[in-house]
Amino acid sequence: MDIKLKFINQTNDANNSEYVFFQKNVSTDFDELSVAWKVIKNCGQGDYHPFTFPMTMAVSAKDCDGNYMPDIPAENGNMYCVTLEPSGHKLGPCGQGASVKEVQLRNDLQRGAITANIEKDGKLLATKTGIAPSQKAVFEFKPTLWVGAVSQVVEGEVMNSAIMSDVNKEISLLGIASASIVATGGGPGCGSTPIRFTLEDVVMA
């Protein structure tokens, strides 16, 4: 079921900050860079911005010839493969993966690396590049969203490590049907505090 969310700006921030929402791929041991899934801009003091966080996701791929394979619905526990068909490269399901918590995408081509993408709500959520033949990309996400006040972040692009190190608020969406994400703090002068994010008006599923 989709989760209905509402971002509310109750900060004292007059810098017209942008607010980024993203998920982290927790399948890897190291902190890989995440994609800016959603960026809210020009949301002034007292403004709010409703959006939906769907439970469903899709997988897509790009080959080294610059071709994009259409996205297909993806589910945890399944494996998806890029193969060479008579008509060219094709992305499709190819059985179960190694873990029920992961979506896996394997490069079954004889030659040429691929890029694997996960999309949510039609927007890029995570990406892995340079997947060589016989290798696979692994994606696993906790039911959480990371949120932060940022600048110069482009929706759908990988964020740099400096921006990601500034974002330290993780919000659990487990069991939630709808909620408000309220930003407070910020502002000029000696009384300024960091911008904080809290979950309010929570309705459980």
Residue spans of the domains in the chain: they are 3-54+146-204, 57-139
Contact between residue 179 and residue 53 where contact means Cβ atoms under 8 Å apart: no
Assess whether pLDDT exceeds 70 at residue 30. Answer: no
Contacts of 81 (CB under 8 A, 6+ apart): 91, 92, 93, 94, 105, 106, 107, 108
Contact between residue 169 and residue 146 where contact means Cβ atoms under 8 Å apart: yes
Q: What is the mean pLDDT of residues 11-38?
A: 90
Mean pLDDT for all residues in the chain: 95
From 14-18, 19-23, 59-63, the region with the lowest mean pLDDT? 14-18
pLDDT of residue 191: 83
What is the DSSP secondary structure assignment for residue 174, as one 8-state letter? T
Contact between residue 74 and residue 92 where contact means Cβ atoms under 8 Å apart: no
Percentage of the chain beyond pLDDT 70 is: 99
pLDDT of residue 151: 87
Assess whether pLDDT exceeds 70 at residue 52. Answer: yes
∠ CA 132-135-140, rounded to 5°: 120
* Coil, helix or strand at residue 31: coil
Distance separating alpha carbons of residues 106 and 83, to the nearest angstrom: 9
Question: For the chain, how long is the longest CA-to-CA vector?
Answer: 67
Assess whether pLDDT exceeds 90 at residue 31. Answer: no
pLDDT of residue 188: 85
**Is residue 127 packed enough to be buried (19+ CB in 10 Å), middle (13-18) or exposed (0-12)?**
buried
Distance separating alpha carbons of residues 115 and 81, to the nearest angstrom: 12
Q: How would residue 184 be classed by pLDDT, with cut points 50, 70 and 90? A: very high
Assess whether pLDDT exceeds 90 at residue 15. Answer: no
Q: How would residue 180 be classed by pLDDT, with cut points 50, 70 and 90? A: very high
For the chain, helix, strand, coil in percent to 5 are 5, 55, 40
